[in-house]
Amino acid sequence: MIVADLGYGDAGKGTVVDWLCSHAGSREPVQAVVRFNGGAQAAHNVVLPDGRQHTFAQFGSGTMRGVPTYLSRYVVVDPLALSAEAAHLVSIGVRDPYGLVSVDREALVATPYHVAAGRRRELARGADRHGSCGMGVGETMAFALARPELAPRAGDCARPRVLAGKLRAVREALGVGGPPVEDCVAAYGAFASAVALTDDGHLPRLLRRGPVVFEGAQGVLLDERHGFHPYTTWSTTTFGNALDLLAGVGAARLGVLRTYTTRHGPGPLVTEDPTLELPERHNGTGPWQGAFRLGHFDAVAHRYALEAAGGCDGLALTHLDALVSRMCVGYEGGAPAVLEARVEEERALARQGALAARLLRERPVYGEPVTDWPAAVSEALGVPVVLGSWGATSRDKRLLTETGPHLSSGRAA
């Protein structure tokens, strides 16, 4: 099963993955949760029925169920942030969280120097800030594209001399301060000793053992190619990376949506409604992303995301307990042609930027009030809603079709 968000993020991927890893969501024990994009900027909130809660960033959202995490080569790994996350997991009763983590040696590493450079860049934009998460993920990706031979990777953490040379080069090239290189080398060495560093053969071995869940980060409407530039992420947020990792192995694709559309920080949100007052226990204004914004369900934007992602097999619809009833079915100016036509594989940033500018001026057209959200969303998007969520825990979810997103042995299901 591949899980991806068909909005701007924050739709509930973590709680859906937790359900998939629970007894209710799987007929067999899940072998691993594979992270296939993003990095430490992810924030997937999971609440267990016993009240324990954790915001997952790099660990997979099945960790509190004892399910191992595999950080693939498409993840930007931050060993220091991972350490802080592991400490919180220990505090809520997860024994030896590092023992549950394997990391591809080719995964890029975000350092304090990337973080400092990324924050400096965002601050320099002033009123035109893009909504960075402030975790250095974009800066890490940009540096790796410009200087691939100097980009630190997870495998380098086990090679102190190589790592030290790369860290010095990164700090000098970015022109930032930060902790001494020697301190980073020591911390990253401890990380390399605590996790299992793996190669390309690791995922096939996991797949042979049984079901695997692929957990995406952020949302398709923030995708580096298909999102609305410049309010995007340096990451492929569609199902694409997971499908590349699977290399032809079959997998069901599950898109996640709320009954209302949300966004962190600046950028288009056509249906934004400041009068909406909905409880957000785990979301709020952040120092880097900006405000958490609420809007009504935007079927136009979500159809675009579905097309950009190449379609999916089913939808998980969260926040069915929210008191909302409005669905945007069109825009006053007419849906831009790009939102109606088949999405191309690659798009020019200038074209996506022009689209963003237009969406910032658009106004929504609403249909009749919605009384049956699963039926309305299924009809609007042409994909069945197979899983519904009426609350934060796995007990608040239930399958809505006889052939829902159960996992089957020996596949990514």
pLDDT at 214 over 60: yes
Does 218 belong to an annotated binding site? Answer: yes
* 8 Å CB contact between 383 and 255: yes
Residue-wise pLDDT tens digits, 343-371: 565 567 888 888 899 999 999 999 999 99
Exactly one of 5, 10, 223, 298 is catalytic; which is it? 10
Does 355 belong to an annotated binding site? Answer: no
Active site residue 10: yes
The percentage of residues in the chain with a pLDDT greater than 70, rounded to a whole number, is 90
Residue-wise pLDDT tens digits, 19-61: 999 977 667 899 999 999 999 988 999 999 999 999 999 999 9
Structure tokens at 113: 């120097």
pLDDT at 160 over 90: yes
Active site residue 44: yes
Does 320 belong to an annotated binding site? Answer: yes
Calculate the CA dihedral of residues 340, 312, 5, 239 and round it to 10 degrees.
-100
Exactly one of 44, 114, 202, 264 is catalytic; which is it? 44
Does 288 belong to an annotated binding site? Answer: no
Residue-wise pLDDT tens digits, 271-296: 999 999 887 776 656 675 568 899 99
Q: Which residues pair with 210 in a beta bridge?
A: none
Closest CA to 398 of 11, 55, 4, 16: 16
pLDDT at 317 over 80: yes
Global pTM value: 0.93
Does 396 belong to an annotated binding site? Answer: no
Does 27 belong to an annotated binding site? Answer: no
**Structural domain boundaries of the chain?**
2-104+201-399, 112-194
Q: What is the pLDDT of residue 124?
A: 77
Right CATH for 2-104+201-399 from 1.20.59.20, 3.40.440.10, 3.60.20.10, 3.60.15.10: 3.40.440.10
Structure tokens at 175: 């022109």
Please give the full DSSP string across 137-178, using - where no structure is assigned: HHHHHHHHHH-GGG--BGGGGG-HHHHHHHHHHHHHHHT---
91-98 contact pairs (CB < 8 A, 24+)? 92/52, 92/53, 92/54, 92/64, 93/52, 94/63, 94/64, 97/59, 97/63, 98/194, 98/195
When pLDDT is cut at 50, 70 and 90, the band that residue 161 belongs to is: very high
Section 171-190 average pLDDT? 96
Considering only the top CATH level, what class is 112-194? mainly alpha
Intrachain domains 2-104+201-399 and 112-194 with the same fold: no
When pLDDT is cut at 50, 70 and 90, the band that residue 159 belongs to is: very high
pLDDT at 410 over 50: no
Q: What is the pLDDT of residue 129?
A: 60
Residue-wise pLDDT tens digits, 222-232: 999 999 999 99
Residue-wise pLDDT tens digits, 240-260: 999 999 998 989 999 999 999
Residue-wise pLDDT tens digits, 81-119: 999 999 999 999 999 999 999 999 999 999 999 999 988
